[in-house]
Amino acid sequence: MVSERSLAVLHAIVGDYVSSNEPVGSKAIVERHHFGVSAATIRNDMALLEEDELIAQPHTSSGRVPTDKGYRLYVDTLAKIRPLSGSQRSAIERFLGDSNDLDDVMARTVRMLAQLTNQVAVVQYPSLGGTTVRHIDLVAIAEDRVLCVLIMGSGVVEQQLAWLPAARVTEAWVHGLRGRIAESVVGVDVDTASAAISALSDTVAEWAEPTETAVVERVLEVVRSQLQANRSERIAFAGAANLSRADAFAGSLPGVLDAIEEQVTLLRLFGELAHEGRAVAASIGRENAPYGLSTASVIASPYEDGGVPSKLGVLGPTRMDYAGNIAAVRAVARYLNQILGEESA
DSSP letters, 184-212, are HHTTSBHHHHHHHHHHHHHTHHHHS-GGG
Across the range 109-120, mean pLDDT stands at 94
Nearest residue to 264 via CA among 302, 295, 303, 290 = 290
Query: pLDDT value at position 169?
Result: 84
Query: pLDDT value at position 170?
Result: 86
What pLDDT band is residue 30 in, cutting at 50, 70 and 90?
Answer: very high
Question: C-alpha angle 308/223/193, rounded to 5°?
Answer: 50
pLDDT above 60 (res 345): no
What pLDDT band is residue 318 in, cutting at 50, 70 and 90?
Answer: very high
Query: pLDDT value at position 132?
Result: 85
Across the range 147-161, mean pLDDT stands at 85
Query: pLDDT value at position 232?
Result: 60
pTM for the predicted model, two decimal places:
0.74
| Mean pLDDT, the chain, whole residue set | 87
pLDDT above 80 (res 10): yes
Query: Using one digit for the tens of pLDDT, what is the confidence trace for 294-317?
Result: 889 999 998 887 666 788 999 999
Sequence-separated (6 or more) residues with CB below 8 Å from residue 72: 282, 284, 287
Distance (Å, whole) CA 45 – CA 112: 40
Residues 2 and 73 sit within 8 Å (Cβ to Cβ): yes
Query: pLDDT value at position 230?
Result: 65
Query: pLDDT value at position 17?
Result: 95
DSSP codes, 214-277:
HHHHHHHHHHHHHHHHHHS--EEEE-GGGGGG-GGGGGGHHHHHHHHH-HHHHHHHHHHHHTT-
Query: pLDDT value at position 330?
Result: 92
pLDDT above 80 (res 128): no
Across the range 88-97, mean pLDDT stands at 89
Query: pLDDT value at position 247?
Result: 65
What are 226's strand-pairing partners?
A: none
Nearest residue to 304 via CA among 344, 269, 270 = 344
pLDDT above 70 (res 83): yes
What pLDDT band is residue 99 in, cutting at 50, 70 and 90?
Answer: confident
pLDDT > 70: percent of the chain: 92
Residues 18 and 320 sit within 8 Å (Cβ to Cβ): yes
Sequence-separated (6 or more) residues with CB below 8 Å from residue 210: none
Query: pLDDT value at position 343?
Result: 58
Query: pLDDT value at position 279?
Result: 79
Domains and CATH numbers, the chain: 4-76 (1.10.10.10), 86-127+234-344 (3.30.450.40), 133-231 (3.30.390.10)
Query: pLDDT value at position 307?
Result: 65
Query: pLDDT value at position 129?
Result: 61
Rg (CA), the chain: 27
Length of the chain: 345
Q: Which residue has the higher pLDDT, 261 or 193?
A: 193
pLDDT above 90 (res 325): yes
**How many CB atoms neighbour CB 59 within 10 A?**
8
pLDDT above 60 (res 182): yes
